[in-house]
Amino acid sequence: MSKDNPVTARIRAARENADPGVLAALDDLVGFAETRDAGRLLDGLALSRIAPPGHRARPLRVAVVGTFTAENVAPLLRVELVRAGIDPTVLVTGFDQLMTQLTDPDSELARFGPDVTLCLLHDGALMPMTWDPTELAGLADLAGSRLSALAGAVAEFGSRSAGAVVLNTVALPRGERRKVVGFAERARLGALWRDLNVRLLGLADTSPSVHVLDLEALLTDHDAALRDERLYRFASMAWTPGVEREYVREAAALCRAVAGRARKLVVVDLDNTLWGGVLGDDGPHGIEVGGRYPGNCFTELQRALVALRRQGVLLAVCSKNEPALVEQVLATHPELTVQPEDFVTTVANWGRKDENIRQIVASLNLGLDSVVFVDDSSFECALVREQLPEVAVVQVAGDPSGHALAVLEPGLFATLATTATDRDRTALYQARARREEFAASMSSPADYLASLGLRVTVSEADEYSLPRLVQLGLRTNQFNLNPRAHTEADTLAYAADPDRLLLGVEVEDRFGREGVVSAVWLRTGAEWTVTNMVMSCRVFSRGVEHAVLADLAERAAASGVSALHALYRPGERNRAASGLLTGFQPVDEHEGATRYRVAVADVPPAPAWIELCRKEQTAHV
């Protein structure tokens, strides 16, 4: 450690002269002090001074509000978020202001308008300073009522703020636990404390915008002390820097999910990654997988990948191997936990991996920034890092017992909640591949569309579709009329408000159900305004958007409305969405977007190859 850590020195210099290489260099920050200093130096520094031209960072407003002083959380978080392609604005409020910040409609926090509010909790938020170890029931009542007050404040804030609110479970410090000498009473204290944490965790079920990080669980195998008593007594610092780092890593993963920066695809190598040994040299019976060490370590990585796949992460193989041999092993090796159908595509050839990844991503219609590449080879990892800087590279090296956690630990796939579509995603992409084969077999695109048997169902959001609609709003980059127009809480408000309408679109064809693939946010009234529409890239080029528009026109006409408006904010990636506006005329600039208009009578009917369906409406949520 010295004052001239190369990364912090570069950030300092970038204040005077822009240095586009700094962003990538942030990955070299390892130690606590240098990361903290980097985060402090990044405060107020425009990202354009440290990022390559064309870097598209997503703005995110994050508030840090604590029941204690957590000096390093903001700078550490800033580094993590900037690394993840987010341009954060961070507000830190004074210590121990949590309740007033949440409940006062004119508080610093309320005026800041956060996308994410991190409410840092320590034991002092629930425990009184003085408590009687012979009256544990009284302690439970008191701490319980403090927790109720906190829950009330969170709910009140949630009623006014559109952002996510993040709480955490709380560890009881050793000094408090040791005040009880009876083992029977210690067990009771442990139980009452866990009850409080269980109640805290339960708050996540009270509202989709409340999230609870299980910090107490994260600290069980954490190697640093919970708190430094000197700094707690002197400056109300309840967490050591090690705990702050642990918290920040988890909070940053959640912020990435809020900002739609979660990774969606794992591209995984085979030899010495998915199994031990080299298939070409050792043969199908010589590779290490299953059974005892080290084969069981590779099985554990496979279990981790299958777990990810079940929650919506796509898996693809990219291996330098003979394709026929790979196909045979994946299909028949008795010890493999992964099955061929877990993979959305399997690429085995002798080509360059960066080229292969490009092709995989293009065939799935995803962005490179949604990819995690897992490989044991330093050469392949360096090549991908160099050629495809947007890809997250996980090099699995050394003892294979660490491989599974190396993939899972960085929290690259974190989402706010998984949906039914996530569970079926691999099958959906596989159906898409079959559809493409079928398309190639047809003589013309029109024949192809006509023979697909497309059914499009547009319906109002209900409790089943709502989580998926929220997710579509956050994750969709390409077909997105008005990017970032609606936060999670905003979308929930659309579903609940009688003057607004949130519609979900389901698509089905002869190859199966695509599920809910599109969402429309509408302000109703004398003239209807589409404030946003998003559509998954899975269903591009089938005229689905025009069927949706025809449905909107029918709904508008039925309500006696004669014109539809739509807001379009062109960006770098959402040109696909402009196709919807064929037939619309630009009217004016409105809320930072261009407002377009079309007369309801001029909206063409749904394309001939699409059957537009209506669903029995369930109760309005």
Partner 1 sequence: MSEITATLVDLVERVTENPDVTEHTRFEGLPNWVSLSALRLLADIEDEFGVRLDLRTYFAVSDVGQLSALVDTALAAS
Residues that bind partner 1 (CB under 8 A): 1-3, 8, 32-33, 36-37, 71, 230-231, 234-235, 237, 241
The two structure tokens encoding residue 527: 């003239």
Tell me the C-alpha distance between 347 and 356, whole Å. 7
Instruction: Give how far Cα 267 sits from Cα of 260, 309, 348, 349, Å.
Output: 20, 12, 12, 14
* Cα–Cα distance for residue pair 69/67, rounded to 1 Å: 7
Per-position DSSP letters for 218-246, written without gaps between them: HGGG--S-S--HHHHHHH---S-HHHHHH
Nearer to partner 1, 241 or 515 (CB): 241
Q: Using the minimum distance from each CB to partner 1, give the nearer residue, 36 or 595.
A: 36
Q: Cβ 111 to partner 1, closest distance in Å? A: 24
Least separation in angstroms between residue 225's CB and partner 1 is 12
Handedness of CA 150, 151, 154, 155 (dihedral sign): negative
Q: How far is the CB of 20 from partner 1 (least distance, A)?
A: 24
CB nearer partner 1, residue 244 or residue 269: 244
State the Cα torsion 388-392-397-402 to the nearest 10°: -170
Strand order in the sheet with 164-168: 86-92, 58-66, 116-120, 164-168, 210-213
Least CB distance to partner 1 at residue 217 (A): 26
- Please identify, using beta-carbon distances, which residue of 5 and 471 lies nearer to partner 1: 5
Nearer to partner 1, 8 or 482 (CB): 8
Q: Which is nearer to partner 1, 241 or 483 (CB)?
A: 241
Amino acid identity at 371: V
| 3 vs 292 by CB, closer to partner 1 | 3
CB of 175 to partner 1, least distance (A): 17
Least Å distance, CB 109 to partner 1, is 21
Cα gap 509→514, rounded to integer Å: 8
Do residues 39 and 79 touch, judged by C-beta distance below 8 A?
Answer: yes
Burial of 262 (0-12, 13-18, 19+ CB in 10 A): buried
Measured from the CB atom, the residue of 217 and 235 that comes closer to partner 1 is: 235
Looking at 295-414, list the stretches that DSSP marks H as alpha helix, in order from N- to C-terminal side: 295-310, 323-332, 353-364, 378-387, 403-408
Provide the minimum distance between the beta carbon of 570 and partner 1 in the complex, in angstroms, as a whole number.
41
Q: How would you write 38-49 as a 3-class SS string?
A: HHHHHCCCCHHH
CB hemisphere CA count around 69 (13 angstroms): 9
Asked if 7 and 29 count as a contact pair (C-beta separation under 8 A), the reply is yes
In whole angstroms, the minimum distance from the beta carbon of 117 to partner 1 comes to 22
Minimum distance of partner 1 from residue 33's CB (angstroms)? 5
